[in-house]
A and B are shown apart, each in its own frame.
Chain A
Amino acid sequence: MTTVMERPDSLNGPAIEQMPRRPWSKRPAKFWLATAIAVVVPIAVVGLIYSADVIPPAILLTVIYFPLQLVAAGLAALATKGKHGILDSCIIVLAIGATALSAIVLGSMLFTIIARGIEAFRPSFIFQNSVYISPSTPLDYGGIGHAIIGTFLIVGIAVIISVPLGIATAVYVTEVRGKAVPYVRFFVQAMSGVPSVVAGLFVLTVFILTGVLRQSALAGAIAYAILMLPTVARTAEEVLRLVPEELRTGALALGSTRARVVSKVVIPAAKTGIITAILLGVARVVGETAPLLLTALKNDQTVVNPISDPISALPTYIFDNVAQPYPDAVTRAWGAALALMILVAILFTVTRYLGGRKRSA
């Protein structure tokens, strides 16, 4: 089809197309000139001083560039908008500064994780475990296979424990709607503030010091489940709320029992949201280190029995290798960090994708 719908001339005129929605936000040319000067001059001055190499860069940035930029922006605002513009220009400089600072920090993190982690990546690093591997062993031998299995095992058990409880909590709030709803929500909120190390201590006292469990994948998973539960419960509650009330009353009117309304109507209707809730819960715990240091310890062997032996996971593997005096061990830590970060990034992208689809639907 090549035909283009022609709109009547009266609608094509500048009157409608170009009418600014907010007339006061239109900028004159003088404003852009002043802005350009205010941006270029401080950078040029600081660049000159930097090339002369007399002042350390940190001082140059904080003591010279930053005030200079504020003054330049203030003068530009004074010239174009008058006295009232000065504070605004300072806010703009500070806001851009804060954004740039955070972007540098995040960029530096992502860059080093990828650049240093890639050095360790090779098939043997992903698939082998670390038996007979000392911190000084070359990178070609041994890897994080056991830690990857450990992470999947611990997180998997934690999902099995926390997801039914978390969804039940959400169902209580949105479907059963008993008298205790405000209290349940309060406790879930309070539980989300429990520090991860305290969750580890709790499992240590209740299960390990009493001799019920050894330090193992199951013990670590219980600690993870405690940290996951509030995230799963709160997200699931939010998505169950979005299920239209008509679906519930409709199913009830057809004679279903309430249990069936929940299991056959409400939860299937919110399926994507529930999956998002589970993944957000997994993302919350997958990098937690402190509880595992207390409840799962570490192990260089591949362990698949969840109750028999201590077990390593990716976070504890990183923790063990960070401060080693051998460069290869440190590279291993970066490699494991990259693997963990890939897991986090996958979870992050999938939850974003599912969440975005839900919102647009």
Chain B
Amino acid sequence: MATDTPLRDLSGGKRAHRGDRVFNRTITGAAFTSLVVLAGITIFLGAQTIPVLQDQGLSFLTTTVWDTTGVPPEYGIAGMLYGSLLLAVIALVIAVPVSLFLAVFMVFLAPAKLSKILTNLIDLMAAIPSVIIGLWAFYVLVPPAEEWQQLLNQYLGWIPLFANDSGNFSGTPFMAGLVLAIMMIPIVTSITAEVLKRTPPELINAAESLGCSMWTMLRYVALPFGRGGIVGGIMLGLGRALGETIAVFFVLKIVFDINFFNILESGGGSVATLIVSKFGETNGEFEVQVLLAAGFFLFLGTLLVNALANLIVRRTERLRS
């Protein structure tokens, strides 16, 4: 494919026809829409963040108070920022192994026809809107999942991670992480499968004819070959998990205190969900600004994760070629 060969400049430069110069300028202008939007988000949301930081100071990022009626009112989103990360980590721990094994099954074990069907099903799963996943989770997943959490706590409760003193297993970070994992699995799987499929068949056949077991082939041929793409896919899934709002809204009880690691204890945080759940009850301009500021930090976080993901993918692609 011509994707990687450098394309010749066809614009004609200064010698171009007058109509073409207008055309080139129009297209060039339109091509920068994405830059304009990104800059717009940074500037406008950033501008709303400044008064919040001036009023609340750094405690906006480091405290867990959310007192809208106090004099003066106090806002702190530390619990939300930490909660977003915690949910993403739980989702990663569940989704990554499932996705990797699913991709291995699709690429190396399943017959070609089954593999094709699975690819379509995974893509369909990725296309299910988050509000429908939230609806399904709320009515179908949560009742049995609460039971699983109870069992987990009953037998492994001596590990602080699985402790639960309240006996209330609804709205836990574990549950939200589980739902996020379900949303991440199709993304990570389809990218991983795509990458594993590109392993040169000569290498695989050579490894197998040398008598390598499948594990050896995976460990020393396929995974090293696709490492960059797989890590990039996981990071993209992470970006999606950080920004996911609606599905989490239905399964997580938002509390402002930091829930450090009691993932089976009711209550956790998520910046994106905070914005939607508090938006309806905002009272006055400043509270809207507080939510906009929270959105600004969410934007910065996801931008960072996505940039890292692209960097990793691109670097490994360069190393390979």
Q: Which chain A residues have a beta carbon within 8 Å of chain B's beta carbons? A: 22, 24-25, 56, 58-59, 81, 84-85, 87-88, 91-92, 94-99, 101-103, 105-106, 108-109, 112-113, 164-165, 168-169, 171-178, 180, 183-184, 186-198, 201-202, 204-206, 209, 226, 229-230, 233, 241-242, 245, 248, 252, 257-259, 262, 283, 286-290, 293-294, 315, 318-319, 322-323, 330, 333-334, 337, 340-341, 344-345, 347-348, 352
Contacts and interface: CB of A to CB of B under 8 A. Distances in A.
B319 interface: no
Given A95-B101, A102-B185, A24 B208 contact: yes
Interface stretch (B17-25, B74-82, B159-167): B17-25
B32 interface: yes
Contacts of A25: 208
B20 A259 contact: yes
Contacts of A87: 213, 215
B44 A202 contact: yes
B145 to A, nearest CB: 10
B127 A172 contact: no
Nearest to B120: A352
Interface stretch (B169-177, B257-265, B298-306): B298-306
Given A91-B215, A198-B243, A175 B10 contact: yes
Contacts of A187: 32, 34-35, 38
B1 A193 contact: no
- Which of B100, B214, B242, B285 is most buried by chain A, counting CB atoms within 10 A of its CB? B214
Contact of B105 (A99, A186, A193): A99
B38 to A, nearest CB: 6
A135 to B, nearest CB: 15
B288 A172 contact: no
A334 B182 contact: no
A103 B121 contact: yes
B84 to A, nearest CB: 11
Contacts of A262: 23
Contacts of A337: 131-132, 135
Contact of A348 (B106, B124, B236, B302): B124
B286 interface: no
B105 A95 contact: yes
Interface string B208-250: 1101011110100000000000000000100100111110001
Given A175-B10, A259-B20, A106 B125 contact: yes
Report which residue of B30, B37, B242, B244 has the largest number of chain A beta carbons within 10 angstroms of its beta carbon.
B37
A233 B98 CA distance: 31
A97 B101 contact: yes
Nearest to A77: B213
Contact of B32 (A103, A184, A322): A184
Interface stretch (B55-63, B65-73, B271-279): B271-279
A106 to B, nearest CB: 5
B318 interface: no
Contact of B123 (A94, A293, A348): A348
Interface residues of B, number: 106
Contacts of A183: 35
Given A98-B98, A337-B135, A178 B130 contact: no
7 contacts: A56-B151, A106-B121, A109-B136, A112-B140, A175-B10, A289-B129, A315-B129
B11 interface: yes
A196 B130 CA distance: 11
Contact of B246 (A58, A176, A233, A289): A289
A248 B10 contact: yes
Going nearest first, the 10 A-B pairs with the smallest beta carbon separation are A287-B129, A195-B243, A193-B306, A168-B30, A172-B31, A95-B105, A98-B101, A259-B23, A87-B215, A187-B34
A164 B130 CA distance: 27
Contacts of A169: 30-31, 33-34
Contacts of B276: 197, 290, 293-294
Given A56-B151, A91-B101, A348-B124, A258 B132 contact: no
A224 to B, nearest CB: 13
Nearest to B299: A198
Interface in B281-304: 285, 288, 291-292, 295, 298-299, 302-303
A297 to B, nearest CB: 9
A323 B138 contact: yes
B157 to A, nearest CB: 14
Given A184-B34, A193-B303, A96 B151 contact: no
B199 interface: no
Contacts of A105: 125, 182, 185
Given A96-B105, A195-B272, A204-B292, A59 B151 contact: yes
B31 A173 contact: yes
Name the residue among B32, B147, B285 with the largest chain A CB count within 10 angstroms. Answer: B32
Contacts of B30: 164-165, 168-169, 172
B24 to A, nearest CB: 5
Given A188-B34, A257-B20, A109 B128 contact: yes
A94 B7 CA distance: 45
- Which of A56, A98, A315, A330 has the most chain B CB atoms inside 10 A of its CB? A98
Contacts of A95: 101-102, 104-105, 109
A176 B28 contact: yes
B302 A194 contact: yes
B130 to A, nearest CB: 7
A109 B133 contact: yes
A184 B32 CA distance: 7
Most buried by B among A81, A198, A229, A245: A198
Contact of B31 (A180, A201, A259): A180
Contacts of A186: 310
